[in-house]
Chains A and B, each alone.
With several copies, the nearest count.
Chain A
Amino acid sequence: MVKVEFLGPIAKEPIELDISSLKELAEFMQKDKDLKEWAENSAVAVNDTIVSDIEYKLKNGDRVSILPPVCGG
């Protein structure tokens, strides 16, 4: 299982998904009306490292974070 957590303004509790790649996560998010929009503009981290390869393989116990648009300062 992979834990997916939604950061900042995405008002959603963490979920556990049975997926093995970011591509599968993308498919999951695109099916969810609320998450679809965030998929458009969010970055993704796996175990706290930003990943930009959609083919990235996920393994059991991985933690994925969804990071929406930022504005520090």
Chain B
Amino acid sequence: MELYSGPLNVDEIVSRWHKEAAAQNCGAFITFVGIIRKENKIEALSFDIYEPILKKWFENWQQKAKAKGATVKMAHAVGDVPIGKSSYISAVISPKRRVALELIDEFVEDFKANAPIWKYDVIEGKRVYAKERSTPMNGAGILSRSGQ
């Protein structure tokens, strides 16, 4: 797991992981790259990460992948990432094609739903929490009246 301040150097990261895949004698290497889109009046997106829980989340996925003979990789930006730059890369390295295709889907979807990362639109230099696009994590709401 790699965290970077600001935009990711996708070329460098993907090249390095690709070499790792070849060195592991794995035939399938899939990457998912998240790029900041121009939308509304956004100048950039900005991210907060709570690293201790993200690390546990990732280690749990590493175990899951290992049980299928695969490896997962992840890189994410902290702070501001301007439009057109990349904030997120996840990857699966696997000897088997099917395992790789299935894992990347589950890994990216679970990342979206449960990785402790908060996203903000940057508009006129101000951070605005992307509330509508955010997802309550597994187990959310237990502190509410209805959660009891």
Number of A-B contacts (CB under 8 A): 123
| Bitwise interface map of B from 104 to 133 toward A, beta carbon under 8 Å scored 1, else 0 | 000010011111111110000000011101
Please state if A69 and B136 are interface contacts (CB–CB under 8 Å): yes
B77 to chain A, nearest CB (A): 10
Cβ-defined partner of A30 (8 Å) among B76, B88, B115, B145: B145
Please state if A29 and B143 are interface contacts (CB–CB under 8 Å): yes
Please state if A22 and B134 are interface contacts (CB–CB under 8 Å): no
Q: Does B40 count as interface, using CB distance less than 8 angstroms? A: no
Residue of A8, A42, A48, A65 most packed against chain B (CB within 10 A): A8
Please state if B129 and A70 are interface contacts (CB–CB under 8 Å): no
Nearest 5 CB-CB pairs, A to B?
A8-B118, A72-B117, A69-B134, A52-B139, A9-B129
Please list the residues of chain A having a beta carbon within 8 angstroms of any beta carbon in chain B: 7-9, 22-23, 25-26, 29-30, 39-45, 48-54, 65-73
Q: List 28 A-B contacts (CB under 8 A).
A: A7-B48, A8-B50, A8-B118, A30-B144, A30-B145, A39-B141, A39-B144, A42-B136, A42-B143, A43-B139, A44-B139, A49-B56, A51-B142, A52-B138, A54-B148, A66-B143, A67-B116, A67-B137, A67-B140, A68-B134, A69-B135, A70-B114, A70-B134, A71-B117, A71-B119, A72-B111, A73-B112, A73-B117
